[in-house]
Amino acid sequence: MKTRLNRYLSECGIASRRKAEEIIKEARISVNGKIVIDLAFTVDPDIDIIQFDGEKIKPEKKVYFLLNKPKGYITSTSDEKGRRTVLDLIETKQKIFPVGRLDYDTTGVLLLTNDGDFTNYLTHPGNKIPRVYRAELSKPLEEADRLKLIKGILVDKRKSRFVEVKFISKEARNKVFVTAVEGRNHFVKNMFAALGYFVDKLNRIEYGGLNAKGLPVGSYRILSRSEIQKVYETYGK
């Protein structure tokens, strides 16, 4: 069965479809011994021999992990300073990558996969995939500031907003649940900092409807195909 070349590269774990198009343009892909730079080119994996930089490639099994990230781990595949990374917490032979980032001291839901399309779908700003956080602030959040965060403020010279900001309880007004659809680095912390609040603790409790309930800190679980499909269905792929 024929499929577009960029999709096949994504299924082999080479790159997302968008990145695969760049690889094709760079004349790094050959089909049956001939370089292909046509982005609309289709291949039949059962018949054609597809090579990337001269090496034959084939689809790899897609894997999806949900990690309850602890503090003290870098959200990266490696670290030049020798610090521990989130990959140190997961046992797999597959080459996986984090979906987005969580700061060194931020805890909670972190997804890791070798599915470039799924990663791109979750992180693309246009898809507005919700992330829910539990934040503990340096001081009680004023109601006027809570409303400002929802209506929108300027952060990094861009109008930015939270979808929702809810107090966890009437008594502890320095503890809030925050829902955001942006994945910029330090986004939650920078939003509060713009109004004079320091985030003492930050825990992501949900990403795209996936949560870490019942999962101990530092542990992970394998996501099922049905859970991945539900994400696509819920947010309208």
What stretch(es) of the chain map to CATH 3.10.290.10? 3-56
Region 3-25 average pLDDT: 88
pLDDT of residue 60: 79
According to CATH, where is 3.30.70.1560 located in the chain? 130-207
CATH code for the part of the protein at 64-125+210-234: 3.30.70.580
Tens of pLDDT, residues 134-192: 999 999 999 999 999 999 999 989 999 999 999 999 889 999 999 999 989 999 999 99
At residue 2, the pLDDT reads 87
Helices (H), 77-171: 116-123, 143-151
Which of 36-40, 44-48, 64-68, 176-180 comes out lowest in average pLDDT? Answer: 44-48
Query: What values do phi and psi take at 233, rounded to 5?
Result: -70, -40
pLDDT for 237: 55
- Coil, strand or helix at 190: helix
200 is an active site residue: no
Buried/exposed 99-131: b ≥16 CB within 10 Å, e otherwise: bbbbbeebbbbbbbbbbbbbbbbbeeeeeebeb
The CATH number of 130-207 is: 3.30.70.1560
Distance CA 109, CA 206 (A): 6
Extended strands (E) in 34-139? 34-35, 42-43, 50-52, 55-56, 64-69, 97-98, 107-113, 131-137
User: What does pTM read for this prediction?
Assistant: 0.80
Catalytic residue among 53, 103, 117, 156: 103
**CATH code for the part of the protein at 3-56:** 3.10.290.10
